[in-house]
A and B are shown apart, each in its own frame.
Chain A
Amino acid sequence: MIEFRQVTKTYPDGTAAVQDFSLTVPSHTTTVLLGSSGCGKTTLLRMVNRMVEPSTGAVLIDDEDVAQAEPVALRRRIGYVMQHSGLLPHRRVIDNIATVPRLNGASRADARARGYELMEVVGLDASLGVRYPGQLSGGQQQRVGVARGLASDPNILLMDEPFGAVDPLVRVELQRELSRVQAELKKTIIFVTHDIDEALTLGDQIVVLKAGGEVAAAGTPAELVQNQQDEFVSRFLGLDSGRRSLTAATADDGGWLISDAQGRPLGLVDSQPEPARSNGVRTSADQTNADQTNPSQHP
């Protein structure tokens, strides 16, 4: 369990990046910090591994103040994945992944063996191990980044817009892969993003942030989409503009086509209503969209 206790952060230049932020991140779940650029997400994330020291307040991991932990040792037991992968360009893929076990004192052979294990976990072909990061596609690099984050088998994984720089198709694939890995490994993940769909896909808990790290709303994806109490949140999730008010129409081949209020088609219904099923329509054009829109479908 990670606990932010009334943390604030004012940078030396006077920027008040975070003001009085409190949050409990339950173990073995994914908590998404969702908010626009500059609202303090990275600052909050980096307080956990002491890359940023809170000006006031404290961050606790399993009831222990991280301020008591030695920063380098702390970072070695917490996975960190960032945008643009942050891989070391001068080390082969396998050695990038093996870096953390090596820092933790594993022999080179053990560290590499662990590296190859993890390449399999994140769906990378072992033959890519000898390449340098510059020889991989953006999506592959992010997979390596995730593998490296997992390499020391940390309990906690901090992810800072890890899929922000890859194209949408690859991003969806990476999100699916992360969900699969997380279902198996059950890490405590704090995932930072400004992408609403990504938050709804990955979060067990979503925290919507306003500028200065102010919590606008927090809850499960379904709760956020259903309870439209806060105007900022509604606007952020696109609820007010009708992005998630869905209408169904009969599709050309007899199924149900779901569109948002602007008439933008989102996908086909493949589970209900019952009568449509007998027509044999079982297409799912865009599984992710269908998944995400389910909570808000009106009966």
Chain B
Amino acid sequence: MTWILDNLPRIGELTLAHLALSLPAVIIAFVLSIPLAWGANRVRVLREPVLTGTGLLYAVPSLPLFILLPALIGTSVRDPLNVVIALSIFGLALMVRSAAEALDAVTDDVRTSATAIGFSGVGRFFTVELPLAGPALLAGVRVVCVSSISLVSVSAVLGVSSLGSLFTDGFARDIIGSIVAGILMTVVLALICDLLLVLAGRMLMPWQQTRRRRPLLARSREVAA
């Protein structure tokens, strides 16, 4: 416990480093998954191969990938960029299927009616289909976010700073406090990020709760009216 209190500044620093590695990866995975999912849904014969193929990327062991990437893209072994790219790949592996299913779940009724009232294809995608896929997309992003935050730690083995460094240091120097702090902060960070995502979802998609929270009584009254 004293170790933790004595090392608060370092823990804070590592937390920020941890976020700096995982958040960009979540964003990149999300942004890339949308066009991929859209394309997979459009070209029906390619859908399963694309979704399964990207999904399999998740099976690539993370440590070898961290080590392989520098050789592939010419970065140095300790470059944080390797970690961000590797995490983006894992995130994408999780996200593409979620995104494809989220976009596919938008009903034909809504699509047809949006076309009928004069949305262009692009306008319909961004103002109708994407927002309506929002709740399911959010569910996918939450998984990717938590997964990324937990995976980042592995990169500490290579000497890239993150909360994972608290484990490696703790093991190397036999400091229980450091190990505990590493575990605790990773979990807390994941929880906070997840909570923020949920809150952001509520703010961005207000039509959702209204439907759920709607009292039954009011509904039956209207039907009667």
Say whether, besides A90-B205, A135-B210, A82 and B222 are in contact (CB < 8 Å).
no
Are A75 and B118 interface neighbours, CB within 8 A? Answer: yes
Say whether, besides A72-B120, A103-B118, A86 and B109 are in contact (CB < 8 Å).
yes
Contact residues in B for A158 (Cβ distance below 8 Å): 116
Minimal beta-carbon separation of A86 from chain B (angstroms) = 3
Are A132 and B113 interface neighbours, CB within 8 A? Answer: no
B117 at the binding interface (Cβ < 8 Å): yes
Please count how many residues in chain B sit with their CB below 8 Å of the partner chain's CB atoms.
26
Are B116 and A80 interface neighbours, CB within 8 A? Answer: yes
Contact residues in A for B131 (Cβ distance below 8 Å): 90
Are A49 and B116 interface neighbours, CB within 8 A? Answer: yes
Are A75 and B211 interface neighbours, CB within 8 A? Answer: no
Minimal beta-carbon separation of A131 from chain B (angstroms) = 8
Report Cα–Cα, A51/B113, bound state, in Å.
Answer: 10
Are B110 and A86 interface neighbours, CB within 8 A? Answer: yes
Within 8 A of B (CB), among A138-192: 138, 140, 148, 158
Max chain A C-beta neighbours (<10 A), residue from B110, B118, B128, B132: B118
Are B222 and A88 interface neighbours, CB within 8 A? Answer: no
Contact residues in A for B117 (Cβ distance below 8 Å): 75-76, 80, 99-100, 103, 148
Residue of A whose beta carbon sits closest to that of B208: A90
Minimal beta-carbon separation of B11 from chain A (angstroms) = 41
A89 at the binding interface (Cβ < 8 Å): yes
Report Cα–Cα, A89/B113, bound state, in Å.
Answer: 12
Contact residues in A for B214 (Cβ distance below 8 Å): 134-135
Within 8 A of A (CB), among B123-149: 123, 128, 131-132, 134
Total A-B contacts with CB atoms under 8 angstroms apart = 75
A137 at the binding interface (Cβ < 8 Å): yes
Report Cα–Cα, A138/B131, bound state, in Å.
Answer: 23
Minimal beta-carbon separation of A177 from chain B (angstroms) = 15
Minimal beta-carbon separation of B173 from chain A (angstroms) = 53
B112 at the binding interface (Cβ < 8 Å): yes
A249 at the binding interface (Cβ < 8 Å): no
Interface range for A = 20 to 34
Within 8 A of A (CB), among B185-206: 205-206
Report Cα–Cα, A91/B207, bound state, in Å.
Answer: 7
Contact residues in A for B222 (Cβ distance below 8 Å): 136-137, 140
Contact residues in A for B211 (Cβ distance below 8 Å): 132, 134-135
Report Cα–Cα, A103/B205, bound state, in Å.
Answer: 22
Are A51 and B115 interface neighbours, CB within 8 A? Answer: yes
Residue of A whose beta carbon sits closest to that of B210: A132
Report Cα–Cα, A50/B131, bound state, in Å.
Answer: 26
Report Cα–Cα, A148/B207, bound state, in Å.
Answer: 19
Contact residues in B for A136 (Cβ distance below 8 Å): 222
Within 8 A of B (CB), among A66-112: 72-73, 75-76, 80, 82, 84-91, 99-100, 103-104
B176 at the binding interface (Cβ < 8 Å): no
Contact residues in A for B69 (Cβ distance below 8 Å): none
Residue of B whose beta carbon sits closest to that of A42: B112
Residue of A whose beta carbon sits closest to that of B209: A132
Say whether, besides A99-B117, A103-B119, A137 and B112 are in contact (CB < 8 Å).
no
Report Cα–Cα, A138/B210, bound state, in Å.
Answer: 17
Are A76 and B110 interface neighbours, CB within 8 A? Answer: no
B114 at the binding interface (Cβ < 8 Å): yes
Contact residues in B for A138 (Cβ distance below 8 Å): 223
Contact residues in B for A84 (Cβ distance below 8 Å): 109
Minimal beta-carbon separation of A89 from chain B (angstroms) = 6
A-B contact pairs, 6 of them (CB 8 A): A82-B116, A89-B110, A91-B207, A100-B117, A134-B210, A137-B219
Identify 10 new A-B residue pairs, CB closer than 8 A, beyond the known A51-B116, A82-B112.
A49-B116, A75-B115, A75-B117, A88-B132, A89-B132, A90-B207, A99-B117, A103-B117, A132-B211, A135-B210
